[in-house]
């Protein structure tokens, strides 16, 4: 049995670092395990301009522990009024690494999201020409569509048309949760990829109701049936360069989660790599973790691979019920994981 696993330093291609006090609290967890991260722009108000992204990047850098060399990669939140010229300038200047598309009201802080993808066609045209990636929260929001079907219906109603109309646009379908998404991405060319979270490798929708209502298992897109979890897991562990690590770590205080209307989001940053390693090992492909965590993402984004390495050792690790001065409940709270991140 492998006792120590050393891989090239990984990156997180989808994370919520928040702002203010929460940013101060959570930045260290992501910076400890990852070299870079694609930082989501769903602040209130959202990050929609080069100026806002530059200022937010400075706040993230200021929140990092002394001596950290973590690099935040900034994203632009698309609205119906997004200006393609401006956005692509921001990409060429190296401020934006990508744009994020939230269908209006799909998730936390997405009220300013896009109401009709057709409003974005000029922006997408400019992004396609510049090679700038489009990151998609792939869920329809109509109340008549069952919440467990929203990803599959988004693929059918929106995404298939989008990849047909923009065949060269770099697209990342974020945090996939269904066999439909895994199959769709697999069937596209190399310019269409997907991120996969640790929680969607481990939990199915039963986790939301195990012995009672479980707010800490609630995120969006919501976990699906077991057959979907298995399909997502096969995609992650397949070795295909189309699938890469994106934690979707999304902290909310425990009070905001344990409420009559609990927020969506799972905070997995503290034990993210341990969680992925556990899944890859259970499937007998620990040797594929490095590609998924450290190589496929940068290659898709056209960025260099990280230089350093990180090591995990086989030491049983108890995940505490709370972290960050008892304010946050981490994913796997109360469980024992077989790996420990050493650094
Ligand atoms: C995210 C958040 O809280 O910002 N929540 C979540 O459940 N993943 C938003 C998102 O990525 O949908
Ligand atoms: Zn997210």
CB of 297 within 8 A of CB of 236?
no
Ligand 1 site, residue 152, Cβ cutoff 6 A: no
Residue that has been written with the tokens 């009024």 in this structure: 81
Outline where DSSP puts E strands in the chain: 4-8, 12-15, 36-39, 71-77, 96-101, 134-136, 171-173, 192-196, 243-245, 309-313, 317-318, 336-337, 340-341
Bond from prior residue into 221 cis (ω within 30 degrees of 0):
yes
Does any domain span residue 115? yes
Q: Is 248 a catalytic residue?
A: yes
Ligand 1 site, residue 200, Cβ cutoff 6 A: no
Does any domain span residue 215? yes
Identify the pLDDT of residue 255.
Answer: 98
Does any domain span residue 192? yes
CB of 121 within 8 A of CB of 82?
no
Give residue 247's Cα distance to chain centre.
5
Does any domain span residue 238? yes
CB of 182 within 8 A of CB of 232?
yes
**Which atom of ligand 1 is found nearest the CA of 106?**
12
Does any domain span residue 310? no
Does any domain span residue 314? no
Does any domain span residue 339? no
The one catalytic residue in 11, 12, 180, 248 is 248
- Strand partners of residue 242: none
Which residue segment(s) compose the domain that 254 sits in? 11-305
CB-neighbour burial class of residue 28 (10 A; exposed 0-12, middle 13-18, buried 19+): middle
Ligand 1 site, residue 103, Cβ cutoff 6 A: no
- Best residue for ligand 1 mutational test, from 42, 107, 195 (most atoms within 8 Å of Cβ): 107
Does any domain span residue 317? no
Ligand 1 site, residue 324, Cβ cutoff 6 A: no
Q: In angstroms, what is the span from residue 6 Cα to ligand 1's centroid?
A: 30
Q: How many CA atoms lie within 13 A of 59 on its CB side?
A: 20
The domain tally of the chain equals 1
CB of 216 within 8 A of CB of 265?
no
CATH number of the domain within which 24 lies = 3.20.20.140
Q: In angstroms, what is the span from residue 236 Cα to ligand 1's centroid?
A: 20
**Which atom of ligand 1 is found nearest the CA of 219?**
7
pLDDT tens digit string along 245-286?
999 999 999 999 999 999 999 999 999 999 999 999 999 999
Query: Residue 229's closest CA among 203, 247, 249, 207?
Result: 203
pTM for the full predicted model: 0.98
Q: In angstroms, what is the span from residue 173 Cα to ligand 2's centroid?
A: 11
**Which atom of ligand 1 is found nearest the CA of 107?**
12
Instruction: Write out the chain's pLDDT in tens, 343 residues.
Output: 789 999 999 999 999 999 999 999 999 999 999 999 999 999 999 999 999 999 999 999 999 999 999 999 999 999 999 999 999 999 999 999 999 999 999 888 889 899 999 999 999 999 999 999 999 999 999 999 999 999 999 999 999 999 999 999 999 999 999 999 999 999 999 999 999 999 999 999 999 999 999 999 999 999 999 999 999 999 999 999 999 999 999 999 999 999 999 999 999 999 999 999 999 999 999 999 999 999 999 999 999 999 999 999 999 999 999 999 999 999 999 999 999 999 9
pLDDT tens digit string along 37-79?
999 999 999 999 999 999 999 999 999 999 999 999 999 999 9
Residue that has been written with the tokens 């990849």 in this structure: 163
């Amino acid at each position: 049995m492998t006792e120590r696993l050393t891989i090239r330093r990984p990156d997180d291609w989808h994370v919520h670092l928040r702002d203010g006090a929460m940013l101060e609290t959570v930045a260290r967890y992501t910076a400890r395990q990852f070299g870079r991260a694609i930082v989501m722009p769903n602040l209130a108000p959202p990050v929609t301009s080069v100026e806002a992204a530059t200022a937010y990047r400075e706040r993230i850098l200021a929140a990092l522990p002394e001596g950290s060399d973590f690099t935040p990669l900034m994203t632009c939140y698309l609205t119906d009024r997004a200006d393609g010229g401006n956005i692509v300038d921001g990409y060429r200047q190296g401020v934006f690494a990508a744009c994020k598309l939230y269908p209006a009201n799909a998730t936390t802080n997405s009220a300013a999201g896009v109401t009709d993808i057709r409003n974005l066609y000029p922006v997408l045209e400019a992004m396609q020409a510049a090679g700038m990636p489009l990151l998609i929260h792939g869920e329809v929001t109509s109340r008549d569509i069952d919440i467990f079907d929203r990803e599959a219906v988004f693929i059918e109603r929106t995404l298939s048309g989008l990849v047909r109309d923009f065949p060269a646009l770099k697209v990342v379908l974020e945090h996939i949760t269904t066999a439909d998404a895994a199959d769709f991405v697999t069937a596209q060319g190399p310019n269409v990829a997907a991120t996969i979270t640790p929680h969607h490798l481990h939990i199915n929708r039963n986790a939301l109701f195990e012995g009672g209502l479980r707010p800490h298992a609630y995120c969006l897109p919501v976990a699906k049936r077991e057959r979907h979890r298995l399909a997502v897991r096969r995609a992650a562990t397949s070795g295909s360069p189309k699938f890469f690590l994106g934690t979707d770590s999304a902290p909310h205080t425990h009070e905001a989660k344990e409420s009559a209307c609990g927020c969506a989001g799972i905070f997995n940053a503290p034990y993210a790599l341990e969680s992925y390693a556990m899944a890859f090992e259970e499937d007998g492909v620990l040797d594929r973790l490095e590609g998924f965590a450290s190589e496929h993402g940068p290659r898709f984004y056209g960025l260099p691979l990280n230089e350093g390495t990180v090591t995990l050792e086989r030491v049983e690790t108890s995940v505490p019920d709370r972290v960050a001065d008892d304010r946050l409940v981490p994913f796997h709270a109360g469980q024992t994981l077989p790996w420990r991140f050493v650094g």
